[in-house]
């Protein structure tokens, strides 16, 4: 899979995308992530990527020209399955959207900043819009990092253990079961006996019970939800 990220603030993305699972996935070629700086697609001395909104009001709006030129340059190189714009008014990002994106060949993720991007970009270039939740971030970069992380860890070759993804919280719309590691007793707190038995079917049964119990207590809304 290839992910091209278009941003006015590439520095924010370098850290999150060069650690741990995402780093390993890039090293073993499960994914290629390319970050594109909108300032490289400007033609003025000050490398201007934003301007004041028509009609007045607070904040700055990302100009259309650098975004059109950047995405046109990408389109010349390959076909894209999706041009995704990160915005708080987009569709709420979910595990099932992550799973769908992990099956794509090439995607672009466009990060907005300041007050947003010129609406003509959304009309002409963007194919889908994602939000990571009902709160406002200063820009789409951290949200893009969240989406990339959730998608890349699902790619074959990313996790040590692919069954790990199948027992994730939100798989089957259930939260995950509690987990423990050594020692078996710590400060008087014991690991549940069943986990020490080596009886795999009893362990699986316990885990499933725990997942249902946890979901009922913490996220009853998930129980009535058909997998979307």
Q: Which residues bind ligand 6GU (CB under 6 A)?
A: 86-88, 130-133, 135-137, 139-140, 143
By beta-carbon proximity to ligand 6GU, the closer residue of 30 and 131 is 131
| Cβ proximity to ligand 6GU, 130 vs 155, nearer residue | 130
Least separation in angstroms between residue 36's CB and ligand 6GU is 18
Closest distance to ligand 6GU from the beta carbon of 107 (Å):
15
Q: Which residues pair with 64 in a beta bridge?
A: none
- Calpha distance 149→13 (Å, rounded): 11
Q: Could you give the CA distance from residue 170 to residue 95 in angstroms, rounded to a whole number?
A: 7
- Of 92 and 218, CB closest to ligand 6GU: 92
- Write down the least CB distance from residue 160 to ligand 6GU, Å: 30
Question: Buried (b) or exposed (e) across 11-28, using 16+ Cβ within 10 A?
Answer: ebbeebbeeeebebbbee
- Of 31 and 147, CB closest to ligand 6GU: 147
What are the residues whose beta carbons fall under 8 Å from the beta carbon of 102, sequence distance 6 or more? Answer: 1, 151, 152, 154, 155
- Reduced to 3 states (helix: H, G, I; strand: E, B; else coil), residue 30 is coil
């Amino acid at each position: 899979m290839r992910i091209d990220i278009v941003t006015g603030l590439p520095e924010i993305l370098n850290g999150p995308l060069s650690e741990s699972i995402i780093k390993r996935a890039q090293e073993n070629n499960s994914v290629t992530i390319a970050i594109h700086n909108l300032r490289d697609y400007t033609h003025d001395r000050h490398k201007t990527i934003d301007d004041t909104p028509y009609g007045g009001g607070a904040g700055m709006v990302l100009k259309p020209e650098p975004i059109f030129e950047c995405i046109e340059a990408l389109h010349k190189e390959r076909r894209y399955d999706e041009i995704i714009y990160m915005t708080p008014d987009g569709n709420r990002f979910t595990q099932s959207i992550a799973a769908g994106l992990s099956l794509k060949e090439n995607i672009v993720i466009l990060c907005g900043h300041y007050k947003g991007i010129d609406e003509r970009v959304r009309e002409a270039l963007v194919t889908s819009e994602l939000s990571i939740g009902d709160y406002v971030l200063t820009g789409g970069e951290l949200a893009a990092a969240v989406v990339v992380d959730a998608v890349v860890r699902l790619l074959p070759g990313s996790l040590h253990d692919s069954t790990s993804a199948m027992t994730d919280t939100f798989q089957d719309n259930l939260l995950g079961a509690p987990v423990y590691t050594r020692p078996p007793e710590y400060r008087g707190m014991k690991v549940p006996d069943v986990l020490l038995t080596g009886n795999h079917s009893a362990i699986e049964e316990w885990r499933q019970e725990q997942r249902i119990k946890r979901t009922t207590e913490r996220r009853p809304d998930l129980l009535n939800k058909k997998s979307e």
